[in-house]
Amino acid sequence: MSDKPVVWVGTPFILNFDDPMEIFQPLVEEGLEVRLDECRGYMPEEDVIAALPDVTAVIAGAEPYTAKVMDNAPEVRFIVRAGVGLNNVDIPAATERGILVANSAGQNSQSVAEHLFGLLLCAVRRIGWLDVNIRKGLWREIQPPMRPLNGMTMGILGFGNIGKQVAKRAVAFDMNVIAHDVVQDEETANALGVRFVSLEELARESDYLTCHVPLTPETTHIINREILSLMKPDAYVFNTSRGPVFDLDAVTEALQEGVIRGAGIDVFPEEPPDYSHPVFALENAVLAPHLGGRGEDAIRNTLHHATRCVLAYFRGERPSTLVNPEAYGVRGR
């Protein structure tokens, strides 16, 4: 057991730095002990429990923080997710146990927006397919028509930090931009020329529909057979948010049957995914292993932010991106 408060850093963020402790030096200077996960991959629940017996604060990756984990981590008082999504953290369970939880909202939004356009261009311009085939010695045989971005309609499902970054880039491509969100930032939308529409209108009007929503009961399978049936047959759909936002079976069927023309998918219902799923056999789907927020700048920004949140917690200050302030009133932990 350490005689200093312990901060544990989960997977997989430290893989990107030659000297990961450089990022966490402010914590060391504050008198904290920093432990880096050595798993180098996804951790099951039992491995997380084994890592946390004397840990006070956690910089969380994608590993699970369930009620069971929290019950077996008696010293944990603060969890900050090095990312935006919190679907791997049981927020109600944390609140019931007086554990404060924060995320890193806004730190990787530009990286995800850039990744989305990478997927979009690969899907529309068929860059991966062209690369594979030119290496086989083909030339004229691999020059298909390619749909433009200019003048097309970008539909953005979720007009938060990431959605706004996507809108800025779409405007730069001379695209028309529409959006759907339960919270409408009219000021930003007006400045960018974005028009808010219903979900059904978003599906009908979009040439390219991209998802940037958190995973909630309301957004689970929000892109489903009904929504896909409203779309243009030459439309594309993209998901860089959370896997269950897509009904992957429905999207796959829509791609197979020509209901839509193409897709770009960076996230899956289960990760790592089931590689036997038929989506992996489709040429009109561009796939990536959940890397949208993993730009070098985004990882560094996210970890710096998480470090600042940990420092704020130990200094008795309120972390800037706290999501469950009601946990402050819970005693007994």
| Percentage of the chain lying above the pLDDT 70 cut | 95
In this prediction, residue 145 carries a pLDDT of 85
In this prediction, residue 1 carries a pLDDT of 57
Catalytic residue among 126, 180, 242, 308: 242
Catalytic residue among 226, 270, 271, 317: 271
pLDDT tens digit sequence for 74-92: 999 999 999 888 989 999 9
Instruction: Give the residue among 96, 99, 85 at the shortest CA–CA distance from 52.
Output: 99
Mean per-residue pLDDT, 292-308:
89
* Whether pLDDT at 101 is above 60: yes
pTM to 2 decimal places: 0.86
Residue 30 is a catalytic residue: no
In this prediction, residue 43 carries a pLDDT of 85
Mean per-residue pLDDT, 246-264:
98
Catalytic residue among 35, 290, 300, 333: 290
DSSP β-ladder status, 285-287 and 100-102: unpaired
Residue 200 is a catalytic residue: no
Residue 187 is a catalytic residue: no
Name the strand (E) or helix (H) holding 35: strand 33-36
pLDDT tens digit sequence for 112-140: 999 999 999 999 999 999 999 999 999 99
Mean per-residue pLDDT, 256-270:
97
The structural domains of the chain, ordered by start, are 6-107+295-329 (3.40.50.720), 109-287 (3.40.50.720)
Residue 325 preceded by cis peptide, ω within 30: no
pLDDT tens digit sequence for 7-27: 999 865 555 667 778 889 999
> Strand order in 153-157's β-sheet?
195-196, 176-180, 153-157, 208-211, 236-239, 262-265, 285-287
Cβ pair 33, 314 in contact under 8 A: no
